[in-house]
Amino acid sequence: MRFDPLTDQHIPEAVALAREAYDRECGHVPALDVADVSGVLTGAIGTLVEHGHGVAAVDDDRLLGYMAFFGPYGGFWGTGTGCYTPLHGHGATGPDRERLTSLLFQHAAEALTAQGADTFAITTYRHDHDVRSALSLIGFGIRNADAIREIDRPLAVKPAPGITYGEIVKASAVDLLPLKNGLVHHLRQSPAFVANDEFTPESFAELLNERETRFFVARDGDTPIGYMELADQGESYLSAAPDMRNICGAFLLPEYRGRGIYQNLLQLVLDTLRGEGFRRVGVDFETMNPTALHFWPKYFDVYTHSFARRIDDLGGA
């Protein structure tokens, strides 16, 4: 077995490996299995080959595995210089996929650390135990997750008296600035320690102008107490399916939690999307956030975990 640069000639076999991983995950999360993803994978892996840095594990001209990263990028999770492998950015076959995954990272990381990379992130399927074990054993830890549910799947909701719910026009989303900053403050706390900056009215307005999203809001009287933000696409290539929409932001004031309010807001989102012909909804969240980790897996099926590793001392032995 040898390790070569990942090139266009490897794309068909890389797509086959990525499709194998997708099919395995569909056995655990049936909501994923709705269409042939090979065409989407061909385009996504082609983009990664063109714009990223990758390695291919080859034996007798047969592709056994591949791993490719975008980056390095400055300012990656704060002060890091980071590289990222998306869900479709790696694949491995054979009797020892765990070892092969470790070797692929070893060869890819050698070149990227020489370019100054000190932080790596890799997204993999939630139930791919070989890859998860390999990443854990070489120093990675889980940071994020993607989850999915079918819109018609029943959601048991009890009324929350005195609370109203509705979708708001984008121009009114500026009223959600205190909630948006509430999420920032929440994620700064232990154990998440996500050091995002607080939004100013100007920076929040700029964000709203940049993003094509929708907002659903819970109110106590006239006061917004919680919101969900919906986008066309989430964090994985699977989230771009035309029958799917994705929750990309969410927060409820702490004093209102535990009363079923957020379940009612989620029900509004599901009912709205069902009426518009959508079949599935996804969400991504930080597993480091206990509130999110407690809430979302109750109502969604987790299908990815994103692993991260910071190399603390590139000058060490």
Please give the mean pLDDT across all residues of the chain. Answer: 94
Give the global pTM: 0.93
- The CATH superfamily label for domain 150-302 reads Gcn5-related N-acetyltransferase (GNAT) (3.40.630.30)
Across the range 146-171, mean pLDDT stands at 94
**What CATH number has the domain spanning 2-139?**
3.40.630.30
Q: Return all residues near 251 (Cβ < 8 A) that are at least 6 apart.
A: 179, 180, 182, 183, 186, 226, 227
Residue 172 has pLDDT above 80, yes or no: yes
Across the range 268-293, mean pLDDT stands at 96
Q: Are 70 and 90 in contact (CB under 8 A)?
A: no
Query: Is there a common fold for 2-139 and 150-302?
Result: yes
24-33, 235-244, 269-278, 281-290: range with lowest mean pLDDT: 235-244
Quote the pLDDT of residue 313: 60
C-alpha to C-alpha distance for 5 and 125, rounded to whole angstroms: 24
* Span 79-132, pLDDT tens digits: 889 999 999 999 999 999 999 999 999 999 999 999 999 999 999 999 999 999
Can you give the residue ranges of every domain in the chain?
Answer: 2-139, 150-302
